[in-house]
Amino acid sequence: MKAVQDVWDVAVVGAGFAGTLAAHDLARRGLRVIVLERGKQIGQETSGGNLSADPWWSAFGLPRPDFMLPVVRRHAAWIGWSFILASVRPHPRVELAAFARTDLDTYLRGILQRAGAALREDFSAEEIQTEPGGPVFVRAAGAAVAAKAVLIASGADEELPTRSGFLRRRAGGRVFFVSQQRLARRDSGAGGDCTLLELQNLPGCADAAATVLRMPRDVIVTVRGSAAPESLADWSFRPGDIMGRLKTHPLIEEVFHGVVVGEWRTRILGAYPPARRRLHGERVLLAGDAALPMGGSPRPGAGFRWAALTAREAAETLARTLDRPTAFRLRAYAERVRAASRRPLRDRCLLRLRRFMARAALLFNRVMFWFAD
């Protein structure tokens, strides 16, 4: 085993939003923290994440990022078989901020450096091993990092939690996915406001929803939903085809005006029914999407809200229990996280109910038109 000085206080696996915030909080408390990122640089392995609905920076003692732009126009639309059923303005008290993910990744790297946390990139963690009476090891191919405690914030990728015994997959079911397309604006030098268009009940995939975010430099199209794993594997489900059917509508055509077409990037966020997860082990905690994927939540910015909440809870728990990691305190963390996850789960149920009511109304209208003829 390595010398004592090579044993870190906390090793954070994943330099995403949750992992970086937790590492910043722990390093600011005076702990020796190392962040292990599988990508060659922060942000290489992420997609999505362009909207925030909460001032998460204030909870971590950080200044408001200057690259965040307010969303001044926001529309929500229900889609019928081939037309927009309704267009409403969402609740005005929910303030959204838009940003480019590359700007956020640069910001996250900066707060890590200022807090004094170490960052090791191109480290693909394969397994977490706990030595009785010794440190916890994060092992990769030909390398290992030892720490008194480990925080797994590796996102929705289930490989590391599964290999380490924190997750047990369930057979069958569907998978949550996010597919994103970034379109460059030809008039990017003209500036302008941020406009958000939310689309529900998409044609061809009723379990999918989309957001179209028009920013000064880019237009970002994100499709989230659930599908059978085989349909994503053989690409029988194509989110680009769904959006192609809607681009001709006047409400959407305005958003797509003057853009350069880009490619889609699809990422799996988790499974439904969800896998059986343990949110804590002996000196190990899970946070962010590693604890529970929030990709299926219909609320914009729900992923960032969830990541910030679990990062703060995990940092406080590890700081208090680093020298005495009692099972009671670690179990209390898991209970608080599960309690906080119930609201996003209720959101999903509410969204499914709304979709069912919309389909029932459309079916009723078709039946009435058929009788009228």
Is the Cβ–Cβ distance between 174 and 271 less than 8 Å? Answer: yes
Residues 273-287 pLDDT 10s: 555 678 888 889 999
Domain definitions of the chain by residue range: 4-50+101-169+275-340, 65-99+172-273
Length of the chain in terms of residues written: 373
Q: Is 103 a residue whose pLDDT tops 60?
A: yes
Residues 143-175 pLDDT 10s: 899 999 999 998 877 788 888 888 776 666 666
Q: Of 34-38, 131-135, 181-185, give the range with the top mean pLDDT.
A: 34-38
Buried-exposed string 135-144: b where 16+ CB fall within 10 A, e elsewhere: bbbbbbeeee
pLDDT band at 81 (very low <50, low <70, confident <90, very high): very low
Q: Is 23 a residue whose pLDDT tops 90?
A: yes
Q: What is the C-alpha separation between 115 and 106, in angstroms, rounded?
A: 15
β-pair partners for 120: 36
For residue 118, the model assigns a pLDDT of 94
CA angle 339, 344, 346 (to 5 degrees): 90
In the CATH scheme, what is the code of domain 65-99+172-273?
Answer: 3.30.9.90
Q: Is 85 a residue whose pLDDT tops 70?
A: no
Q: What is the C-alpha separation between 226 and 171, in angstroms, rounded?
A: 16
3 state SS of 371: helix
Q: Is 322 a residue whose pLDDT tops 50?
A: yes
β-pair partners for 12: 35, 151
CATH 3.50.50.60 for domain 4-50+101-169+275-340, yes or no, is yes
For residue 32, the model assigns a pLDDT of 95
Same fold, 4-50+101-169+275-340 and 65-99+172-273: no
Cβ neighbours, 10 Å, residue 265: 12
337: which 2 tokens? Answer: 């996280």
295: which 2 tokens? Answer: 């990709």
Q: Is 198 a residue whose pLDDT tops 50?
A: yes
pLDDT band at 114 (very low <50, low <70, confident <90, very high): very high
Residues 169-189 pLDDT 10s: 666 666 677 777 777 777 655
Q: What is the C-alpha separation between 218 and 223, in angstroms, rounded?
A: 16
Q: Please give the share of the chain, as a percent, with pLDDT higher than 90.
A: 19
For residue 138, the model assigns a pLDDT of 94
Is the torsion defined by CA of 6, 8, 11, 15 positive or negative? negative
For residue 86, the model assigns a pLDDT of 47
